[in-house]
Chains A and B, each alone.
Chain A
Amino acid sequence: MKSSRRRFIKLAGIAALGLGAQPAIKAIAPAAEHGSQMQFTQSPNALTAKQWAMVIDARRFKTPADLEPMIEACHKLHNVPHFTEKRHEIKWIWETHYHNAFPNVPNRFISEETEERPYLVLCNHCQNPPCVRACPTQATFKRASDGIVMMDMHRCIGCRFCMAACPYGSRSFNFVDPLKGLVESEINLKYPRRMKGVVEKCTFCVERLAEGQMPACVEASNGAIVFGDLEDPESEVRQVLRENFTIRRKQNLGTEPCVYYIV
């Protein structure tokens, strides 16, 4: 009796292991079968970099209206819903005040102009991202190829650990079906929406970079936002960084944000 029970447990354990491995094997099988026939490549006209980075020349944006085109371009392109209920709000890129964007920087008595102009904030695509460290499923990850902090919407379980981890408040959660915050006729059919229960944020427009285009906000900025490879000394970003004094949001936290501001 006892030995048979033990044997059963052993067998059950082995069976469970086998079952556990099965989906993985199944998922690989068709690819393996046809593996030699399939090739996955980057498009020839894709823009590439070791670490994408952005420099925002905040001096060029005087009023909230100056920022509107960039926010609009991004949110339209990526089907970012608009909710009147503040709790459900989703934003990839938005404007805020100087003391909100840089809470530990403000000096008193700085130039009124600097203090009163609006600032554009978005995901910083940190080189040492705390959100990636926190995610329990690697649904958010730092892409080795270009340093973009990406979201895998199909894997996200909606635990929102990344939102707690982000020191910039750059992440939004789909508290309700995003379709409720979109106007059907204005949906960009070329870009997917999201489902309720997942976290989303700015992706530095990976889909545009892959096709050789600059991110939507950069394109809409009339040259006030420079985008390029931080690791390439010859890049425009590096040149702008060399020539101007720039600051970053909460760089004291060691996250190494990749969005720089000329103030």
Chain B
Amino acid sequence: MNDKKWIVLGLAVFLVLFLSPFLYNVLIKGAKAAPMPEVVLTEKAKAAKQCVMPTEFMRANHMQLLDEWRLKVVRSGLRDFTNAEGKTFNMSLSNTCLDCHSNKADFCDRCHNYASVAPYCWDCHIQNPQGETK
């Protein structure tokens, strides 16, 4: 078999392609990360001090929490959520979450854009239930 050189060449091309994003960062752009996103809290959110769960938890797990809420509301018919502090909330993205965080562009989108995720929540859930643009 004298296909060896072709195999090596193929592997090399594959490796270069595979590593191209990293190489691009290291060689051309310099290893600089994109700036951390900064989320803006509305007055209402600031006044509330804490979200339905601690900030750390929300930052890491809000998607799982929302999914859990969704399951409970749609499938079990349970609509009230009570957290460790004993505070009760209506489990609703449109009517609870976005009531405080009515600034989708400066709150939700900033992190989502940074992480390059495009959740389709907004296809159905109105971004701004009060119609305000704060």
Q: Are the CB atoms of A189 and B81 closer together than 8 Å?
A: no
**Is B74 an interface position by the 8 A CB rule?**
yes
- With contacts A27-B67, A189-B129 known, is A42 near B124, CB below 8 A? no
Which residues in chain B, 97-134, are within 8 Å of chain A measured between CB atoms? 120, 123-126, 128-131
Among B53, B64, B91, B129, contact of A27 (Cβ-Cβ < 8 Å) = B64
Summarize A's interface: helix, strand, loop or mixed: loop
Among A40, A153, A192, contact of B76 (Cβ-Cβ < 8 Å) = A40
Among B67, B81, B120, contact of A40 (Cβ-Cβ < 8 Å) = B81
Q: Are the CB atoms of A141 and B81 closer together than 8 Å?
A: no
**Is B82 an interface position by the 8 A CB rule?**
yes
Q: Are the CB atoms of A190 and B83 closer together than 8 Å?
A: no
Q: Are the CB atoms of A189 and B76 closer together than 8 Å?
A: no
- With contacts A27-B64, A40-B72, A189-B131 known, is A194 near B83, CB below 8 A? no
Which residues in chain B, 5-63, are within 8 Å of chain A measured between CB atoms? 53, 57, 60-61
Q: Are the CB atoms of B82 and A42 closer together than 8 Å?
A: no
Shortest beta-carbon distance from B54 to chain A in Å: 9
- Rounded to whole angstroms, the CA-CA distance of A48 and B57 in the bound complex is 33
Q: Are the CB atoms of A30 and B125 closer together than 8 Å?
A: no
Size of B's binding interface in residues, CB under 8 A? 35
Q: Give every chain B residue within 8 A of A192 (Cβ-Cβ).
A: 94, 124-126
- Rounded to whole angstroms, the CA-CA distance of A145 and B84 in the bound complex is 26
Among A37, A41, A210, contact of B83 (Cβ-Cβ < 8 Å) = A37
Q: Give every chain B residue within 8 A of A206 (Cβ-Cβ).
A: 77
Q: Are the CB atoms of A193 and B123 closer together than 8 Å?
A: yes
Size of A's binding interface in residues, CB under 8 A? 31
- Rounded to whole angstroms, the CA-CA distance of A37 and B61 in the bound complex is 15
Query: Tally of A-B residue pairs with Cβ under 8 A?
Result: 80
Q: Are the CB atoms of B124 and A194 closer together than 8 Å?
A: yes
Nearest residue (CB) in B for A48 is B77
Nearest residue (CB) in A for B98 is A189
- Rounded to whole angstroms, the CA-CA distance of A41 and B61 in the bound complex is 21
Q: Give every chain B residue within 8 A of A154 (Cβ-Cβ).
A: 70, 74
**Is A219 an interface position by the 8 A CB rule?**
no
- With contacts A39-B82, A192-B124 known, is A210 near B74, CB below 8 A? no
Q: Mark A153-168, 1 if CB is under 8 A from B, else 0.
A: 1100000000000000
Q: Mark A97-132, 1 if CB is under 8 A from B, else 0.
A: 000000000000000000000000000000000000
**Is B4 an interface position by the 8 A CB rule?**
no
Nearest residue (CB) in B for A194 is B124
Q: Are the CB atoms of A30 and B82 closer together than 8 Å?
A: no
Q: Are the CB atoms of A34 and B79 closer together than 8 Å?
A: no
Q: Give every chain B residue within 8 A of A146 (Cβ-Cβ).
A: 77
Among A37, A46, A150, A194, contact of B75 (Cβ-Cβ < 8 Å) = A150
**Is A143 an interface position by the 8 A CB rule?**
yes
- Rounded to whole angstroms, the CA-CA distance of A237 and B129 in the bound complex is 35
**Is A247 an interface position by the 8 A CB rule?**
no
Q: Are the CB atoms of B75 and A42 closer together than 8 Å?
A: no
Pick from B61, B78, B125, B128 the residue with the most CB of A within 10 Å: B78
Shortest beta-carbon distance from B84 to chain A in Å: 4
Q: Are the CB atoms of B94 and A190 closer together than 8 Å?
A: yes
Shortest beta-carbon distance from A12 to chain B in Å: 21
Among B53, B64, B79, contact of A42 (Cβ-Cβ < 8 Å) = B79
